[in-house]
Amino acid sequence: MNKTIKIYIVFLVLLLVGIVYIDVTRPKPINWTPTYDIKDKIPFGLYVFNEEAPALFGQKVNRITETAYQYFEPKYDYDSLVNTYTIRGTILSVSDQYMIDDESTQELLYFAQHGNKIFISSKSFPQKLMDSLKFSYSSKFMGRDTIFTSLANPHLGQKKYDISVGAGNSYFEKIDTLNTTVLGYHENTKEKLVDFIKVPYGKGEFYLHTQPVVFTNYHLLKDNHSEYAAKVLSYTDGEVFWLLKNQSGEIVSGSPMRYILSQPALKAAWYIFLLGMIVFFIFNAKRKQRIVPIIKPLENTTVDFTKTIGNLYFQEGNHDNIIEKKIIYFLEKIRNDYLLDTTVLDENFEKKLQQKSGKKIEDIQKVVYLINQRRKSYHQSIESDLIALNTAIEKILAKEKNSQET
């Protein structure tokens, strides 16, 4: 590694350390993104609402991660004597924008038609709901004045709550005044607009609200704004079914880089690293030396040498030496090929060799028996002993050779 490359590496390391240090020591900016995610603790997340939901509703809340159609359609009893849902209560949806699919929207209408309530807090509504409930909404920027929201029902108090931070511009422009009840407004010093209505549908009711920001962390923790949220939710009753599908950021990227790219410091470090590598390759694209030729390593001639010596001993009739060399050769090959300890040749060794080599246990037992017999014997070996041991060893090695070729 030459001096220039070392300088590049030191520079990149110092740069990355500096970026990490600056990011750790500087105050992190507040994320004002309206995620409406139940896991987010940022101002416009729903972490607090999710944690306090049982207290706000006074009972357990069912969090539904399926679509409304997938969850509620199987709970409809089509028996002619029943012909209604087996569950009753209020469907809840809180999101920045209306994200419920058309099929599920129709399911909400069916659910309300059978005597249940639907509470939707969103800055937008689909045409299907507007046509069915006979209303329309619009948007109007109310300037930089302070925006207050309040409820129309005097029994819930006439108090106004400042929702200027994050307040939406949506309001109900037209409603069916014969059937629709106005429940709340948002206003400034110049005008007052409807932001909360009740619309009867079949045997049930729809509660539509255009200021979902009041349910976010920021407003639930600010002053006494949680009172307003509790008053609005007081119109719900029965079991609560909170729809979370496509509304709470449950779609997570499958990219392995998602965490690095989600953290500003790591993201910056990653891009600087890529830029540094590009610069490095540009300046080092020219080869500094010729290709180093591949030198073939020396062959291990130990096995061939052992075979040659064994044949020499055989010609001289020295059976003991040949047997010893055969055993040494065989055990050396077992140690090299299967990484087994050949110090003790017992039943445990036989099982391990059989598991690793896949050879027949009978062949292995025969070789081990002959080797152990040889080690225990004090008599001079004869040619038949050599032939028996050689046949057993060569049988295993020959089969091994065939399997390797296959």
Instruction: Provide the pLDDT for residue 123.
Output: 96
Residue-level pLDDT, tens digit, the chain, 406 residues? 567 777 777 888 888 888 878 777 778 788 899 999 999 999 999 999 999 999 889 888 999 999 999 999 999 998 877 789 999 999 999 999 999 999 999 999 999 999 999 999 999 999 999 999 999 999 999 888 899 999 999 999 989 999 999 999 999 999 999 999 999 999 998 999 999 999 999 999 999 999 999 999 999 999 999 999 999 999 999 999 999 987 554 444 556 677 777 777 788 888 888 888 887 777 776 656 666 778 877 666 666 666 676 666 666 666 777 778 788 888 888 888 888 888 888 888 888 888 887 788 888 888 888 888 877 776 666 777 778 878 888 877 765 444 444 4
CATH 3.50.50, domain 47-243, yes or no: no
Question: Which residues have CB under 8 Å from 88's CB, separation 6+?
Answer: 115, 116, 238, 239
Q: How far, CA to CA in Å, does 336 sit from each of 191, 301, 333, 356?
A: 90, 15, 5, 12
Q: Are 367 and 361 in contact (CB under 8 A)?
A: no
Instruction: Provide the pLDDT for residue 287.
Output: 57
Q: Are 135 and 208 in contact (CB under 8 A)?
A: yes
Q: What is the DSSP string of 192-209?
A: EEEEEEEEEETTEEEEEE
Instruction: Provide the pLDDT for residue 316.
Output: 65
Instruction: Provide the pLDDT for residue 188.
Output: 93
The DSSP output letter for 406 is: -
Q: How many CB atoms lie within 10 A of CB 350?
A: 16
Q: Are 226 and 237 in contact (CB under 8 A)?
A: no
Q: Are 144 and 118 in contact (CB under 8 A)?
A: no
Side chain identity at residue 71, one-letter code: Y
Looking from the CA of 390 toward its CB, the CA atoms found within 13 Å total 17
Residue ranges of the chain that CATH labels 3.40.50: 47-243
Comparing C-alpha atoms, which of 120, 91, 121 is closest to residue 240?
91
Instruction: Provide the pLDDT for residue 302.
Output: 62
The DSSP output letter for 317 is: T
Q: How many CB atoms lie within 10 A of CB 247?
A: 22
The burial class, CB within 10 Å (0-12 / 13-18 / 19+), for 330 is: buried
Question: Which residues have CB under 8 Å from 214's CB, separation 6+?
Answer: 121, 149, 161, 163, 220, 225, 228, 229, 232
